[in-house]
Chains A and B, each alone.
Chain A
Amino acid sequence: MNTKTLFLWGNNLTDAQLQDWHFVADAIENGTYVVCIDPIFTQMAAKSHKFVAIRPGADMPLVMAMMYVIVEEDLVDWDFMREHSCAPFLVKDSDGLFLRMSDLGVEPAVGDNGAAVDPYVVWDADANAYGELGAVANPAMEGSFEVEGISVTTAYSLLKDEIMKFPPEYASTLCDVPVETINELAHLAVDGPVTHRVGWGPQAYDNGIHPHLAGAALGVLTGQLCKPGANYGPAPWLMFLGGNMAMQASSAPVTSPTISNMYMADVMASNEFNGTPVTPKALWVYSGNPMCTWVDTNTLRDEVFNKFELVVTVDNMMTDTARWSDYVLPLAHWFEYEDAVIYGNTYHVLYSGQAAEPLGESKCDLDIMRMLASKMGLREDLYPASNEEYLRSYFSSPTCEAMGITYDNLVEQRVIRCFPENYRLWENGAFLTASGRAEFYTENPVADGYVGAVPDLDREHLPHWFEPREAWPEGELAEKYPFVLMSERPRFRVHGQWAYNRILREIDPEPTVKMNPADAIARGLEDGIHVECFNEHGHAVAKLVYNEAIRPGTLVYPKSWQSDQHIAGSWSEPLSRQCDPVAVNQSFMDCRVDVRAWEGAE
């Protein structure tokens, strides 16, 4: 509400996060200027003051070029940089870590909480000598220095080196945003309070970590963080952590590895995960429909699901995944059992009461687990006897007591606020980093979920540009498959949910794919015909819909139709399971296809 300019980065908020739209609408009425950066002219774009059409997978160069303008014109918020960021920290050439007093032989002290206190070293620009952070009034923001024989460079200088690679003229060739627009956006970004809200668009490519590293750096550089109306981040997904933790996690250690879907086919083939033998035999799927919503479902089916001896799916509807399972356990709908919601795009704990008896033999997850545990001979008391008893125990903790959150209060009030009024992340600059500052330089990037050799993490200290794997307009793949295949999270479904809702299917009866009319006409494809989008991984057939909102050279499909609702194929088939070794992400939009009229049987 108090934001002067709201930047929406790849955030189809009016569809995918509709619950937040009325706040944005209020802000607009209150004078907020909204900039929507998106390859697609969404409803949100139509409601924004400025639509910035961007090339898919190229948000990062735009952010970098905005920072270039800010640095060139010296619009940096130096006070914020000095007081609240890692800008003056000295990065050692040798290992990329921040220089600390212990590097100079000063024993770390023991702090109040028992933790070691090892101050950061900065360069005193007045004394032209090193000093302890906190003891130096005017730390150098830029420069390379020798500190007792150790070569160091300020974190800001390293960031600036990256920024300076992106003059707007060059960045414009990457992101396809005009130079004047980049300049305009840079000036908007320094005129606070500014909020940057990111959707799940920019991360949907193999280079998807880096637009966010850049975006967060932009927030720091401009001092537009943790102040009223100023922030950088996605929709606030919050979790109430004040419950009785003993009720949440088992004390027994987990004995099996966590393996990303991206590598599961290889693991099933080799029976090995990073050198450790693993022979998974049974698959239990709950709270998900991977065969519909994940990438490369042909491989997932043939190389993963079919290699398990037993596949069990728990769901309240017949999903693509349920169809490929040996057993389907009917799950009660959440209206049919009692529960509480402690996680979501909300500042509240919600009570979810039972409105109807479970249909047929269906049961809630907890009941299914109870029955399974007892058949497997696990401890009788693994889960308390009833859901009510569980919730009563869960909401009995010192935090709950202090906030007045009890089972009885929840039942009575239905909704209890568990975050403070006007809650702000990192209020007063209290960042949740080792230094307590906004660290745009990641000192010690750690790889997780990779398979094989540890990936090179040098790239991960700072925002770094590399092209998306498939979505880039140049190269052999682009010639063979001329269209970037993008998805949207449409308003008529939540992932695969509501797929068979008859009322919704009257409005939205079948899978569609949207195409810019100019592209379609050039290929002789008429509005409303069935087309096949395909590449070597698979295909999907859908009704073609002309729509000028679609960027030429891209196709956009509303995601998560069940495969039996397609004439042939499904949208998850053409998506590759290859991934960046650091991101280990299902890059849903890093995909190229070709499109042709469907000639197969209707």
Chain B
Amino acid sequence: MTRYGMAIDKKRCVACNTCCVACKIENNLPQDMWWNRVINEGGPNPDSPAGTYPSLTMTTYTLSCQHCANPACVPVCPTGATTKDPETGIVMIDPHICIGCKACIDACPYGVRTLQADEPVYYTAFNIGGDGIQDHVPNTVEKCTFCAHRVVNGEVPFCVEVCPARARVFGDLDDPNSDISKLIASRDYEQLLPEAGTEPSIYLLV
């Protein structure tokens, strides 16, 4: 079996937002839709540290769908639009089944699901992004797909490919010889809200 996961190295991530913007391009995300965001750990504002000048600390990582092994969203979805692919472990939403009830938004402890309420507004007059990307349908919920349309062709998610810091590693958590498995075995890491019992597939290397 395959269970895809991602490691994000907090020692390398510098909050550049390249992955977030690249996600928008690759997935043709409409205006105001972001599947991936930079989280600052320090003060309340972006790039603001904790502490008092000059004794300061600051770290950063990105937040998107955790593609949990035990997702909180799947069981609450009344239509079966949200599913977890048993072949890959990727959690997907079928926009043609979703009714926009927002049950998953309430259930997800990570706040990574967003309602596309209205008719999507695009930045360009033509479609951009990869082949086979998800449609954007009014009144449906959206989130990161782990670039399933790329992964199916053996490619890594676009955010991994573009990260100028080489902070993102994608691969099969079930394969002990994959780069990601070896990295997780060799480094200290955190996971977000492990107490939620969701078993996230995202590892934050510290």
Contacts and interface: CB of A to CB of B under 8 A. Distances in A.
A379 interface: no
A25 B165 contact: yes
Interface string A60-97: 00000000000000000000000000000000000000
B101 interface: no
B54 interface: yes
Contacts of B34: 506
B130 to A, nearest CB: 17
Interface stretch (A13-21, A459-467, A560-568): A13-21
Interface string B22-54: 001100000110100000001111011111111
Contacts of A504: 21
Contact of B58 (A546, A549, A551): A549
Interface stretch (A39-47, A275-283, A304-312, A477-485): A39-47
A506 B31 contact: yes
B12 A51 contact: no
B127 interface: no
Interface residues of A, number: 35
B17 A492 contact: yes
A507 B16 CA distance: 11
Interface in A9-58: 14-15, 18-19, 21-22, 25, 28-29, 41-47, 51, 53
Contacts of A46: 42, 49, 56-59
A14 B15 CA distance: 9
Interface in B41-77: 42-45, 47-54, 56-60
A510 to B, nearest CB: 13
Contacts of B192: none
B47 A25 contact: no
Contact of A546 (B16, B17, B43, B60): B43
Instruction: Bin chain B's interface residue count.
Output: 35 or more
A550 B53 contact: yes
Contacts of B31: 502, 506
A503 B123 contact: yes
B166 interface: yes
A545 B167 CA distance: 28
A496 B190 CA distance: 39
B49 A21 contact: no
B147 interface: no
Which one of A42, A46, A507 has the greatest number of beta carbons of chain B within 10 Å?
A46
B16 A51 contact: no
B21 A25 contact: no
A51 B17 contact: no
Contact of B60 (A43, A45, A507, A551): A43
B164 interface: yes
Given A43-B58, A46-B59, A547 B48 contact: yes
Contacts of A43: 14-15, 47, 58, 60
Interface string A107-140: 0000000000000000000000000000000000
Which one of B12, B25, B47 has the greatest number of beta carbons of chain A within 10 Å?
B47
B45 A545 contact: yes
A358 interface: no
Given A25-B11, A47-B11, A548 B52 contact: yes
Contact of A548 (B12, B32, B53): B53
B45 A527 contact: yes
Given A46-B58, A503-B21, A546 B48 contact: yes
A14 B14 contact: yes
A394 B180 CA distance: 46
Contacts of A502: 31, 123
A25 B123 CA distance: 34
A548 B11 contact: no
A144 interface: no
B53 A552 contact: yes
A549 B17 contact: no
Nearest to B60: A43
B11 A28 contact: yes
A25 B53 CA distance: 24
A25 B24 contact: no
A72 to B, nearest CB: 26
Contacts of B56: 41, 45-46, 51, 548-549
A133 to B, nearest CB: 46
A503 B30 CA distance: 10
A491 interface: yes
Nearest to B29: A503
B20 interface: yes
Contact of B32 (A15, A21, A506): A506
Interface in B102-124: 123
A33 to B, nearest CB: 14
A260 interface: no
A15 B165 CA distance: 11
A14 B16 contact: yes
Nearest to A14: B14
A507 B17 contact: yes
Nearest to B58: A46
A14 B13 CA distance: 10
Nearest to B54: A53
Contacts of A546: 43-45, 48
A527 B48 CA distance: 13
Which one of B24, B50, B52, B53 has the greatest number of beta carbons of chain A within 10 Å?
B53
Contact of B164 (A22, A550, A552): A22
A393 interface: no
Contacts of A21: 14, 164-165
B164 A549 contact: no
Nearest to B37: A507
B165 A22 contact: yes
Interface of A: 14-15, 18-19, 21-22, 25, 28-29, 41-47, 51, 53, 491-492, 502-504, 506-507, 516, 527, 545-552
8 contacts: A14-B16, A25-B166, A503-B123, A548-B43, A549-B48, A549-B49, A551-B54, A552-B53
Per CB-CB distance, the 7 closest pairs between chain A and chain B, nearest first, are A53-B54, A46-B58, A14-B14, A547-B48, A43-B14, A41-B56, A22-B166
Given A44-B14, A503-B25, A547-B49, 5 more contacts: A25-B11, A25-B167, A43-B15, A46-B49, A548-B50
